[in-house]
Structure 1
Amino acid sequence: MTTFVDRVELHVAAGNGGHGCASVHREKFKPLGGPDGGNGGRGGDVILVVDQSVTTLLEYHHSPHRKATNGKPGEGGNRSGKDGSDLVLPVPDGTVVLDGKGNVLADLVGEGTTYIAAQGGRGGLGNAALASARRKAPGFALLGEPGQTGDVVLELKTVADVALVGFPSAGKSSLISVLSAAKPKIADYPFTTLVPNLGVVTAGATVYTIADVPGLIPGASQGKGLGLEFLRHVERCSVLVHVLDTATLESERDPLTDLDVIEAELREYGGLEDRPRIVVLNKVDIPDGQDLADMIRPDLEARGYRIFEVSAVSRHGLKELSFALAGIVAEARAAKPKQEATRIVIRPKAVDDAGFTVTLEEDGLYRVRGEKPERWVRQTDFNNDEAVGYLADRLNRLGVEDELMKAGARAGDGVAIGSEDDAVVFDWEPSMAAGAEMLGRRGEDHRLEAPRPAAQRRRDRDAERDEADREYDEFKPF
């Protein structure tokens, strides 16, 4: 059964915004009191938050689909819909968020660090909010925007100050068990450690974390063994500790070769050249191990390494190693630049930025792209002619009509607003520039007009009957 997961693909969906309400106020002696439709609620966001109590991505391995709640629709009586609840997903410290192409979206380090993985849709405006001096009784409301959906990849990079690297069965787990309170699985066969172990070490006034990175063998950086899965866990460390087995029973191995192989894999992986190195000669409590350590020590010193001879069984040399690591970690922390105050960068909008673009595609289709026009299209109820006319007026005021003319569009040409996946396509008619040609006096509620006199209503009814009789006589069958 899987107990540790450090990479998952998460399918997130934010909540949809609630639709606005189209309503007319009614009460005794005042049946048509004007629009009173409320706005729709905002859809909930999907938010990733660093939680120190979470150490693995196992929960999302079993349940990768996550969705926030939708906003509620508005109601009559100027009652706005309830906002959707945000979905907060706790992740371990050191989680990296990537898109499907491998681009880094966020690096979550530090308790409480947040990232919005999917943003909820806006709620639609009700007809009360759309009313104006020109449009006193709108017979429509705006739809809520759909929430963002997509896939993100979460990768865990352990936040540790010291990383123990070495061949399987070199004694890394034994070292971390005696240096800290961690209790990793220990056995005398390769790949005992299948997950990174993390321990906390106190040396004088310095407290630091130490990680045992498993599974490094020749070819690990190309995916052999378990190394490629866990090499990312050494990226955040301040110092690398090579644990060399001086009492190995494998005749084809020796500590110097092991060191060269691990260094080659780290170099192939990349990004770790600037980390200081320490070499630990482990298992010197065994006579043959001490003899081999004395033999290879001059070669290691000639390469410039600091060397510590230790034994996890007899605890020999552990105190010196612990304080040496504490000193390196303290120096690395002091060398880090202090966090500067947050700088607010103001980027004013360019004077010639229209907020949208019009491009002519190879198939003769004119495509309109821009945040505003695409959002307005998503919020339009195309079953309501008045709402469509309102969209036409908004696009005209934004300047879309003029840009289409400049681009060479003519009546009947195809125009698409939005991306290829969810665009709204229509045949363009320049008459949309005036807006009201489509619907007459759009926005007026004829129920609010003064009633016609009875005599006038009879004359209009008789005129309509006479017109119908003439049409029947003209087109009646023989």
Structure 2
Amino acid sequence: MTTFVDRVELHVAAGNGGHGCASVHREKFKPLGGPDGGNGGRGGDVILVVDQDVTTLLDYHHSPHRKATNGKPGEGGNRSGKDGVDLVLPVPDGTVVMDRKGNVLADLVGQGTTYVAGQGGRGGLGNAALASARRKAPGFALLGEPGIARDVVLELKTVADVALVGYPSAGKSSLISVLSAAKPKIADYPFTTLVPNLGVVTAGSTVYTIADVPGLIPGASEGRGLGLEFLRHVERCSVLVHVLDTATLESDRDPATDLDVIEAELRAYGAGLEDRPRIVVLNKIDVPDGRDLAEIIRPELESRGYQVFEVSAVSHEGLKELSYALAKIVADTRAALPVQESTRVVIRPQAVDDAGFTVTAEDDDLFRVRGEKPERWVRQTDFTNDEAVGYLADRLNRLGVEAELLKAGAKPGDGVAIGADDDAVVFDWEPAMAAGAEMLGRRGEDHRFDAPRAAVTRRRDKQAERDESDEAYRGFDPFE
């Protein structure tokens, strides 16, 4: 059964925004008391957050589809809908978020680091929020926006200070088990270690982490063995440790050749590992032949510029010196890192000549409008409501879309598409198009309040006539 997963494809879907409500307040003697439709709630976000207690992406391997809750629709009586609940997904420290093309979207390092993988949709405005001096009782509301749905690739790169590299059964897991409190699986056959092991080492006042990379063999950078799957775990390390087996039973291998093969694989993999400091560990000197071979090969390795340590995971010989040498390199590397400055917020104001949208002429008398505002407004429009369509036309006209279409050469009857190819809304363009709510008179005005006003005026006129009649009657003498 799989217990360690360091790469998954995750399908996230943020919550949809709730629809706004179109409602009119009604009570006795107030047939049209004014709009009171509430706004829809915001859809929940999908948020990735680093959790130190999580060490694998196994949960997302079994359940790759994750969705946040939707916002609730608004209601009458100026009651806004409830916001959707954010979906928080814990990920291990060192998780890289990419799209399907391999573009890095976020590198999550450090406890509590977050990334919004899917943003919830905005809630639609109710007709109470859409009311104005001219449109006093809108008969429509805006729809909630759909939440962002996307596919992301999560790739775990272990955050370790020291990486142990070498052939299978070179003794990497044994070294971790004696240098730290980690208890990896250890056996006398190749590919015993199938997942990276991580341990914490304390040397004096320095505490650092150490990890091994399993499965490195010739051709690992090209996909042979398990090396390609785990080479990514050495990318963040401060120092590389070559663990060389001095007691191998294979006649065609020797420590120098093993070192050259692993170095060739690291160069082929790339990822900026060329400049990392190296240390060579000649392991298994507790075996007589291993100690003899270590003494023979050590001068050659030192002549190449390597710092060499002869150790034994069984007898613990040389481990203290190795541990403190690694601690010194890690401490020097940390000291050389730039001081982390406080987060600065960079504000880039919009250019004065940026209209916020573009109009492009395409084939077959089609003009495409792209821009955040026009596309959002289209998504929020209920095209079954003529008044809502008219409101959209008003907004596009005020934004300057009609003027830009005229400049681009659009003629009445030409097709206009707002949005991308897959979800665009296409319509035949008519300059200064009607609102679609002809019964309401001119666009932007609302005469439904005029009827109550006219009734009140008529009642006042009739009352005045009666008052005049009464006054005339009081001054009339039938005996004259």
| Bucket of the pairwise TM-score, normalised by the shorter protein | over 0.9
Question: Alpha-carbon deviation of 1:91?
Answer: 0.1
**What letter is aligned with 2:310?**
E
Query: Deviations 1:372-431 (Å, cap 9, x if unpaired)?
Result: 000000000000000000000000000000000000000110000000010000000113
Q: 1:439 & 1:11 partners in 2: Cα distance?
A: 46
Query: Partner amino acid for 1:2?
Result: T
Deviation at 1:347, TM superposition (A): 1.0
Conserved? CA contact 1:95–1:155, under 8 Å: yes
Matches within 5 A, 1:262-411: 262-270=262-270, 271-411=272-412
- Partner of 1:134 in structure 2? 134
Report if aligned partners of 1:24, 1:33 keep a CA contact under 8 Å in 2.
Answer: yes
State whether residues 206 and 327 of structure 2, in contact with CA within 8 Å, keep that contact through their aligned partners in structure 1.
yes
* Aligned equivalents of 2:139, 2:17: Cα separation in 1: 20
Indicate the residue corresponding to 1:52 in structure 2: 52
Residues 386, 435 of structure 2: 8 Å contact kept: no
Check the 8 A contact 1:246/1:289 in 2, yes or no: yes
Cα deviation, 1:230-260, whole Å, max 9, x if unaligned, reads 0000000000000000000011111100000
Superposed, which structure 2 residues align to 1:64-83 within 5 Å?
64-83=64-83
**Aligned-pair distance for 1:447?**
6.6
Return the offset for 1:361.
1.2
Q: TM-score, normalised by structure 2?
A: 0.92
Distance 2:354 2:127 in 1: 30
Cross-structure match for 2:189: 189
1:197-244: CA deviation from partner (whole Å, max 9, x where unpaired) = 000000011100000110111111111110000000000000000000
Distance, in Å, in 2 between the alignment partners of 1:396 and 1:452 is 32
Q: Aligned-pair distance for 1:26?
A: 1.1
Tell me the amino acid that sits aligned with residue 48 of structure 1. Answer: L
Give percent identity, aligned residues only: 86
Kindly state the Cα deviation for residue 169 of structure 1 after the two structures are TM-superposed: 0.3
Deviations along 1:355-384, whole A, 9 cap, x unmatched?
A: 000001133310000000000000000000
Deviation at 1:451, TM superposition (A): 8.1
AA aligned to 2:419 is: G
Report the equivalent of 2:448: 446
Residue 245 of structure 1 aligns with which residue?
245
Tell whether 2:229 aligns with 1:229: yes
Q: Distance in 1 between matches of 2:431 and 2:53?
A: 61
User: Which SS does the other structure have where 2:90 is aligned?
Assistant: strand
Give 1:433 shift: 7.9
Question: Is residue 432–residue 438 contact of structure 1 (8 Å, CA) maintained in 2?
Answer: no
Taking only aligned residues, the RMSD between alpha carbons, in angstroms, comes to 1.6
1:130: Cα distance to partner?
Answer: 0.2
Unmatched segments (≥5 aa) in structure 1: 457-478
Secondary structure of the corresponding residue to residue 124 of structure 1: coil
| Structure 2 residues without counterparts, runs of 5 or longer | 459-480
User: Which range moved further: 431-440 or 227-236?
Assistant: 431-440
Could you tell me how far apart the structure 1 residues matched to 2:151 and 2:434 are? 40
Offset, 1:96:
0.1
Query: CA 1:162–1:392 in 2, change beyond 3 Å: closer, same or farther?
Result: same
User: Could you tell me how far apart the structure 1 residues matched to 2:177 and 2:314 are?
Assistant: 11
Residue identity in the other structure for 1:421: D
Rate the CA distance shift 1:74–1:33 in 2: closer, same or farther, 3 A.
same
Q: Which amino acid aligns with 2:426?
A: V
Task: Show the counterpart of 1:177.
Answer: 177
Tell me the TM-score normalized by structure 1.
0.93
Instruction: Please state how far the C-alpha of 1:174 moved relative to its aligned partner.
Output: 0.3
Aligned to 1:462: none
Count of residue correspondences: 454
Report the Cα distance in structure 2 between the residues aligned to 1:240 and 1:49, rounded to whole angstroms: 29
Counterpart secondary structure, 2:333: helix
Shift of 1:27: 1.7
Larger mean Cα displacement after TM superposition, 8-17 or 357-366: 357-366
The residue that corresponds to 1:428 in the other structure is 429
C-alpha offsets along residues 69-103 of structure 1, whole Å, 9 cap, x if unaligned?
00000000000000000000000000000011100
- For the 8 Å contact 1:15–1:67, the answer to whether it is kept is yes
| Aligned partner of residue 341 in structure 1, secondary structure | coil
The 3-state SS of whatever aligns with 1:329 is helix
The 5 A counterparts of 1:132-171 are 132-171=132-171
CA distance 1:297–1:452, change in 2 (3 Å): closer
Residue-by-residue CA offset, 1:37-70 (whole Å, 9 max, x unaligned):
0000000000000000000000000000000000
1:78-97 equivalent positions in 2, closer than 5 A:
78-97=78-97
Q: CA deviation at 1:436?
A: 7.7
Deviations 1:296-341 (A, max 9, x none): 1111010000000000000000000001000000000000001012
Contact 1:431-1:437 within 8 A present in 2 as well: no
Q: Do the aligned partners of 1:37 and 1:126 also contact (CA within 8 Å) in 2?
A: yes
Distance 2:302 2:225 in 1: 31
Distance 1:430 1:221 in 2: 61
| Shift, 1:351, TM fit | 1.1
Contact 2:45 2:118 in 1 (8 A): yes
Task: Go from structure 1 to structure 2 and tell me whether the alpha carbon gap of 1:98 and 1:226 turns closer, same or farther (over 3 Å shift).
Answer: same
Q: SS at the partner of 2:77? A: coil
Q: What is the CA–CA distance in structure 2 between the aligned matches of 1:242 and 1:365, rounded to whole Å?
A: 63
SS of 1:66's equivalent in the other structure is: strand
Q: Please say if 1:216 is aligned against 2:213.
A: no
Task: Say which is worse superposed, 177-186 or 430-439, in terms of deviation.
Answer: 430-439
